[in-house]
Amino acid sequence: MVNFTIAIPTYNGAKRLPQVLDKLRSQTNVEQVSWEVIVIDNNSTDNTAEVVKQYQQNWLSNVPLRYCFEAQQGLAFARQRGITEALGEWVGFLDDDNYPEPQWLTAADKFTQTHSQVGAFGSRVLGKFEVTPPENFERIASFLALTERGNQPSLYEPGKKILPPGAGLVVRREAWLKNVPSQLVLAGRVGGKMLASEDLEALRYIQQAGWEIWYCSDMVVYHCIPRQRLEKDYLMKLCFGVGLSSHAIRMLKFPQWQQPLIAVAYLLNDLRKIIIHLFKYKIAIRTEVVAASEMQFLIGRLLSPFYFFLKLQQTS
């Protein structure tokens, strides 16, 4: 009986997948863990399927390596497919540019056995950079799914806004199936759009259902970040997209009748934060990558309720 499923959503990841699969094949001290790996091909146009087929021919004899195709584009749909296809009680998500350390699976399995109320828990996600990040990059590192919360496990408090990213995330399959809608508002970055935070939306549903969300310091994942993802244009678009998604996340904890008033309160606070940021950094917003990216995040948050209102009008 499979207890742990590792799901790898990928889009055109034929060149990236081998490194992730090699890392999984090299996991240590997993003799007592019953696990499987599923690659979810999110409508790729490259030879992703062939890469998986080649690995299946020379894979671990006691660990199934499965392939499934998800035609609906978007990381949210790929992760949902992973949950549906999984045989394990626990589902660990790795993106195709996430490299788990050799003890990652062992640490995850151990954590599930010592935390009975956990619905999901995140990894310690460190950056593997092709080039040196811009100055003060740590202020926006979380937008690239990097998570460093120290050397001890810690609980993500329900009253706070912070939750772990989808990279290196492990979820209790039952908690997801019972609480996360089959179609989220946020689908992920699709068709050049940088709208993000689909992982946070799913986790918010799990947390609001009463499950605990944790950070597991012993689960270490390296996120491979190429040069282009550290360039100013990309970082500004990324931060804007995260900000633009914020209305969907914010409104989850409020009943529908309260949402218009709450949205106005958030709008005024977001405007206040933009003014403060302008006064703090002044002309540096034009020249400093991180300050400019933070401004785009704040602008995205300000525009977020209008974006979703227009989106609702277009679909109704």
pLDDT at 311 over 70: yes
Q: What is the pLDDT of residues 31-52, one digit of tens each?
A: 999 999 999 999 999 999 999 9
* Average pLDDT of every residue of the chain: 95
Q: What is the pLDDT of residues 164-177, one digit of tens each?
A: 999 999 999 999 99
pLDDT at 312 over 80: no
Residue 189's closest CA among 181, 180, 198? 198
Model confidence at 272, pLDDT cuts 50, 70, 90, reads very high
The alpha carbon of 43 is separated from its chain's Cα centroid by a whole number of angstroms, namely 19
Task: Report, as an integer, the average pLDDT of 243-262.
Answer: 94
Task: Report, as an integer, the average pLDDT of 151-159.
Answer: 94
Whole-Å CA distances, 64 to 27, 60, 187: 14, 7, 28
Q: What is the pLDDT of residue 136?
A: 96
Fold of 4-227: Spore Coat Polysaccharide Biosynthesis Protein SpsA; Chain A (3.90.550)
Task: Report, as an integer, the average pLDDT of 236-261.
Answer: 94
Q: What is the pLDDT of residue 316?
A: 61
pLDDT at 191 over 70: no
Q: What is the pLDDT of residue 195?
A: 78
Tokens of 114: 């010592």
Q: What is the pLDDT of residues 51-101, one digit of tens each?
A: 999 999 999 999 999 999 999 988 999 999 999 999 999 999 999 999 999
HSE at residue 123, side-chain half, CA atoms within 13 A, is 30
Enter the pTM of the model: 0.94
Whole-Å CA distances, 309 to 197, 261, 263: 18, 14, 11
How far apart, in whole angstroms, are the C-alpha atoms of residue 104 and residue 191?
32
Model confidence at 127, pLDDT cuts 50, 70, 90, reads very high
Compute how many other C-beta atoms are within 10 angstroms of the C-beta atom of residue 253.
13
How far apart, in whole angstroms, are the C-alpha atoms of residue 270 and residue 255?
21
CB 223 within 8 A of CB 127: yes
Residue 26's closest CA among 90, 124, 101? 101
Please provide the distance, in angstroms rounded to a whole number, between the alpha carbons at the two ends of the chain: 45
pLDDT at 314 over 80: no
Q: Which residue has the tokens 């699709």?
A: 190
Model confidence at 192, pLDDT cuts 50, 70, 90, reads low
Residue scoring higher pLDDT (66 or 187):
66
CB 83 within 8 A of CB 177: yes
Q: What is the pLDDT of residue 1?
A: 84
Residues 6+ apart with CB under 8 A from 224: 16, 19, 97, 98, 99, 128, 130
